Each structure stands twice: as C-alpha cells, then as structure tokens.
Amino acid sequence: MRRRMPEAGMLVQMDSSFHQWLPHIPQKWWLIAMIDDATNKVPYAFFSPIDSLFANMHVIRKFIEIEGLFLSLYVDKASHFTTTRHGGLHYSVNIEQNLTQIERALNELGISLILANSPQAKGRIERTFRLFQDRLIKEMRLANINNYEQANSFLNNVFLPSYNSKFSHPAKNSYSPLPKNLNLDLIFCIKEQRTVNNDNSFKFRGRVFQIPPSPLKSSFAKSIITVCLLPDNRIFALYKDNIILKSYLHNNTNELKISNLLNKRVYFQDKSISSYKTHIRKTYIPPKSHPWKKSFAFLNKQKLLKKKKYISIIKNESIKKLKI
C-alpha cells in the first residue's frame, strides 16, 4: 500500500463515476471529481450527462481556481486523457503519439500527468465514490433534489463543505497561486493549428474566418496560427500568443452538429450500454414521373423495338430461304 503524499498539492487524483444518482430519473449520469492525495479534500465535483473532454476540463479548471496549481494529476487511461494504441499498422509505423487536449493544457500549466494501470491504483478517489453513492444519494433525497442542476448546486454548496470538514486531513500546503496574466480560457480549450490563406483567411470546423487588420503584421498569409475553440463556441485565433481574431462558431455548422449529436447519449436503466443519437440519412428514390426515368424507359422501348424488328427480319429471310 502506498502512503499519502506528505504535502497537499503534490498529487491529485481524478476519476468519473457512472451511477443513477437521482432515483426518480432513470438516466444514469457521470460524477466527475478530484481529490487531494494528502488531505483527502474534494474542493469541487460536477454532475455531467457525458464524460466528455470539456466536462473534465471544467472540473480541472474549477479545482485550480479554488486551490491553485498542483504538481501532478493521477488519472486512468481514458481517451480524453491519453492516446493508447494496441498494435496495428499505426503503432509500428508512428511510435510518437500526439498529445490530447488535456495533456497539452496540463503541460502549459507545468502539471505532470500520471496514468494508472488499474482502478486500485486510484483507491483514494474510488473509495470516495463508494461513499458518495451511499451518503450523497440519501442527502439529496432528503433535500428534495429534483434535477441535476439542483444536484450540482447542492453538491458544491452543501455536501462537499460538510464532507471536507469531517473527512479531510491537515497537511502542509504546496499549492502555488495562479499567475495574474494567465488566461485559463486559452488553456482549457481545443487548440488546433491552421495555415492562413493568401486572402488572410483560414478555415475551421466548416467555416471560413477572415482575419481583420492587425498592428502585428500587414498580412498573415502562409503564417501558422493557433485556433482555440472554447466550450461556449467562442473562437480565438492566436499568432505568437497574440490574439488576432475573436469570433463565434454558430450552431448551424455541419461539423458542430455532428459533434453535438455524438455527445448526446441515451443511457438505458437496466443495461450499462449506451447508444448514440445520429441522423439516419434517407436515400432519395425518384418517382416514375422523373425525366431521367422517362428517358431510360423510352430508350429501353427503342431497344426492344429494334430487337423485335431484327428478329422479324431474320425470321422472314429464313422463311424465304426455305421456300426457295
């Protein structure tokens, strides 16, 4: 068994628990939480319908805003934390793997990511979830919590302060404060690189964005910029850490619609499986009155008539030969 860390902020464990937290709501939700390994303190937790990238980023950001910057984060090997490949062509050809968005954000903050090989390695947060699945559900029922908006408010304003006062341990604080010039919006986001076109524009998520005139450069043509997509669909374009564009990604974007549909899962009460809501594309079957069908039908009739004429000619010639 591993001992606790000697100081708070040296190691923080993070995990998600998929459970039916409200008995009268049949859909199961995820509870995403972080716990300090030294003090056993849970400063913030969040109920989410999906265990998504932005939901986990939201919890990490709130934890940092409350406590400060810590040294290392202990998580499992979920796809939003790390990229894992199990053999195959890509594994043998390209050994280097791209960083996930959370790995990239933690690197920018100077936080190291530690991956656990088993649930027992994160026993601190696993046992906390076992307590939450018992005590938190009962207290929410006594408080007449009817939806998950009320559940999130009750969890962070009532339950966690009481939990931390009873079960946390004193330890030396090694959290470092946030720098004043640090913009967390540009860290906890999706960052992708784009090359600017000759007309000072770039394409992102199915839309073309025009870069306005800037004092940095007269033209950004052929320059490589960083595009940041925030959870509220705001977009920032950065050139050498300078903001050159602020815009918004509308909900009518095709790629955004697909990602939103994939994020809307339907959870079944009796089964642990989940299915995605996706649009079924209907195949268009043209009617018989369609001009293409008319033309094809006309051509087919012409072919049949030609065949009949050819057969009749052959028959007549064969009859003539027999008479001779």
What's the pLDDT at 149? 93
> Which of 281, 298, 313 is a domain's end point?
281
Same domain for 321 and 240: no
**Residue 299: inside a domain:** yes
Same domain for 17 and 98: yes
Residue 108 pLDDT greater than 80, yes or no: yes
Same domain for 201 and 142: no
**Under 8 Å between Cβ of 79 and 69:** no
CATH number at residue 143: 3.30.420.10
Same domain for 84 and 200: no
Same domain for 320 and 221: no
DSSP letters for 178-237: PPTT--GGGTSSEEEEEEPPTTSEEEETTEEEEPPP-SS-S--TT-EEEEEE-TTSEEEE
Report the domain count for the chain: 3
**Residue 38: inside a domain:** yes
**Residue 1: inside a domain:** no
Residue 4 pLDDT greater than 50, yes or no: yes
Residue 16 pLDDT greater than 70, yes or no: yes
Same domain for 201 and 319: no
Residue 21 pLDDT greater than 80, yes or no: yes
**Under 8 Å between Cβ of 178 and 227:** no
> Which of 281, 296, 313 is a domain's end point?
281
Q: Which amino acid type is present at position 227?
A: V
Domain range for residue 320?
Answer: 282-324
- In angstroms, the CA 7 to CA 275 distance is 43
**Residue 115: inside a domain:** yes
What's the pLDDT at 158? 95
Same domain for 267 and 198: yes
> Which of 124, 148, 173 is a domain's end point?
173
- Is 297 or 187 the better-scoring residue by pLDDT? 187
Same domain for 212 and 72: no
What's the pLDDT at 285? 80
Same domain for 267 and 289: no
List Cβ neighbours of 127 (8 Å cut-off, separation of 6 or more).
none
User: pLDDT tens-digit profile of 122-178?
Assistant: 788 889 999 999 999 999 999 999 999 999 999 999 999 999 999 998 999 999 999
What's the pLDDT at 268? 34
| Distances, alpha carbon 137 to alpha carbons 30, 38, 130, 254, in Å | 13, 26, 11, 39
Same domain for 287 and 275: no
DSSP label of 78? -
Residue 94 pLDDT greater than 60, yes or no: no
Supply the pTM of this predicted model. Answer: 0.74
What's the pLDDT at 322? 61
Confidence of residue 49 (pLDDT cuts 50, 70, 90): very high
Mean pLDDT computed over every residue of the chain: 82
**Under 8 Å between Cβ of 243 and 227:** no
Mean pLDDT value of segment 200-229: 91
What's the pLDDT at 228? 94
Same domain for 224 and 155: no
Mean pLDDT value of segment 227-252: 89
Mean pLDDT value of segment 189-209: 92
Residue 13's Cα: distance from chain center in Å? 21
User: pLDDT tens-digit profile of 59-93?
Assistant: 999 999 999 999 999 998 888 888 776 555 555 44
**Residue 183: inside a domain:** no
Cα angle 226, 61, 15; round to 5: 110
Residue 269 pLDDT greater than 80, yes or no: no
What's the pLDDT at 249? 85
Residue 24 pLDDT greater than 80, yes or no: yes
Mean pLDDT value of segment 189-196: 93
Same domain for 148 and 105: yes
**Residue 223: inside a domain:** yes
**Residue 135: inside a domain:** yes
**Residue 184: inside a domain:** no
